[in-house]
Amino acid sequence: MQTAIRLEKPGTFSAVPDTLPDPAPGEARVRIRRIGVCGTDIHAFHGRQPFFEYPRILGHELAAEIVALNGDSSFQVGEMVAVEPYLNDPTSPASQKGKPNCCESLRVLGVHCDGGMRDELNVPINKLHRAAGSSADQLALVEMLGIGRHAVNRSCAAPQDKALILGAGPIGLSVLSFLQLQGPEIAVADLDEARLDFCRTAFGVERPLLITPDSDLVSMVKNSFGGELPDLIFDATGNSQSMHSTIDLIANGGRIVFVGLFQGEVSFHDPTFHRKEISLLSSRNATSSEFGEVIRAMESGAIDTAAWITHRLNLVDIPSRFASMIEDLSLRKAVIHLDD
């Protein structure tokens, strides 16, 4: 008998017996090996994820091994893969326009339907990404890195840009990883000194900006870019005040990308928005080809995520240990193990 760990209601996980149907045509059965824990899982645990339905099996950052295939594909049983958790309808208008990441009827594994906190899972074969040269740890971080890859692709960042990242959590770090490959001058701002220290030591960010309650953010940001405002801002905080502040922080003609999501209204001063002729973009999920870009970047060594993982736990220990783990201030990224 297989087991799944199910979030029954906010604050309560339980282990439940799990039986899966045989994989349908076009599906693969995969054995889950590692699962990344992300902000979405933590919000669902705290009951802060609006429109979230309980009970739900969480888990959308999945490293897995193929155990069965029902359909023709170039995959082999036994291969390790990253699972793309975005189940889109290929006939939807957005999918047809090459934007499956924001498909009108998108269902994300572990969010809108049951995900991967279980021994095995059936998934469409076309949502598997081959990564023979990657470790299970690396594969569990592909989805999270895809968020950063997509945001940087949306921004059209160029070497001559001055770019500011607001928020140095895992999503901010994902943006930073790919932004560095494009070559702009980069500053990172956060409220947490330890996170900024990590940007300095792991990414060589020279001037991390520590925001305090009385910071004059505009002067602080200007100082770090030699008196100029940045051409490009990524908000990876999901905080409405931070998102609001980007309108004042951006240079005239600049681009703002909202990667973090705030569950409510964000307002701004329209005359400033117009005067500066700001381009404001949102960024949601990632596309299949961006999953490939992430895997290639990891396999070539351009992206090194080894130092990101601060916490590990076994799937069966989630009901007893998840709550205390996410309270630990040193948590950067947690990975759940099913294989050792």
Site residues, Zn ion (CB under 5 A): 38
Considering the complex, state which of residue 50 and residue 226 has its C-beta at the smaller distance from Zn ion.
Answer: 50
Nearest to 152 by CA among 306, 275, 281: 281
Considering the complex, state which of residue 38 and residue 249 has its C-beta at the smaller distance from Zn ion.
Answer: 38
Considering the complex, state which of residue 69 and residue 298 has its C-beta at the smaller distance from Zn ion.
Answer: 298
Considering the complex, state which of residue 175 and residue 221 has its C-beta at the smaller distance from Zn ion.
Answer: 175
Q: Sign of dihedral through CA atoms 170, 283, 294, 93? A: positive
Distances (CA, A) of 27 to 19, 23, 64, 318: 16, 5, 14, 28
Considering the complex, state which of residue 38 and residue 140 has its C-beta at the smaller distance from Zn ion.
Answer: 38
Question: And the tokens for 19?
Answer: 């039986």
Nearest to 262 by CA among 235, 298, 223: 235
Beta bridge mates, 4 = 16, 118
- C-alpha to C-alpha distance for 186 and 192, rounded to whole angstroms: 18
Nearest distance in Å: CB 221, Zn ion: 28
- C-alpha to C-alpha distance for 340 and 338, rounded to whole angstroms: 6
Phi, psi (deg, nearest 5) at residue 257: -120, 120
Nearest distance in Å: CB 60, Zn ion: 6
> Rounded to 5, what percent of the chain is helix, strand, coil?
35, 25, 40
Distances (CA, A) of 80 to 8, 37, 39, 48, 91: 30, 19, 25, 33, 29
- C-alpha to C-alpha distance for 130 and 74, rounded to whole angstroms: 10
* Cβ-proximal residue to Zn ion, closest one: 38
Nearest distance in Å: CB 191, Zn ion: 21
Considering the complex, state which of residue 30 and residue 250 has its C-beta at the smaller distance from Zn ion.
Answer: 30
Nearest distance in Å: CB 227, Zn ion: 37
Nearest distance in Å: CB 130, Zn ion: 21
Nearest distance in Å: CB 41, Zn ion: 7
